[in-house]
Amino acid sequence: AQKITQTQPGMFVQEKEAVTLDCTYDTSDPSYGLFWYKQPSSGEMIFLIYQGSYDQQNATEGRYSLNFQKARKSANLVISASQLGDSAMYFCAMRGRSEKLVFGKGTKLTVNP
């Protein structure tokens, strides 16, 4: 079974600064994928970034990058140059052999002006 742990219930960051949201995972599957989703107050889940377990390089998508440390089983999300619109819940998720996407409990990010 897969498990995702997000230990930061809430995080605060100043506008224009970078922030790291932590995610650790546990799985016995040799091949897996890691995802980050953003959920604004409107409720819709928005895909941000994906990292495959065999990918050699850390994934990047614009201001989002994923700090993937396989040996530590961590997949932290780094948001650079934070904007007010980044304030939202952020969920880390993973998929192993099954099609289930397993989510963590999320981190609430607040960007201060």
**Residue 48 token pair:** 């941000």
Residues 6 and 104: their CA atoms lie apart, in Å, by: 6
Among 28, 30, 41, 42, binds other proteins (CB under 8 A): 42
100 binds other proteins, rule: CB under 8 A: yes
* Alpha-carbon radius of gyration of the chain: 13
Q: Kindly write out the interface string for residues 1-40 of this chain, putting x where it contacts other proteins by CB under 8 A and - elsewhere.
A: ---x----------------------------x-x-x---
Contact 7, 22 (CB under 8 A): yes
Q: CB of 17: closest distance to other proteins in angstroms?
A: 26
Among 52, 60, 69, 83, binds other proteins (CB under 8 A): 52
**Considering beta carbons, is residue 19 or 35 the nearer one to other proteins?**
35
> Distances in Å between the alpha carbon of 8 and those of 21, 22, 67?
7, 7, 16
Among 25, 96, 109, 111, binds other proteins (CB under 8 A): 96
Residues 76 and 32: their CA atoms lie apart, in Å, by: 16
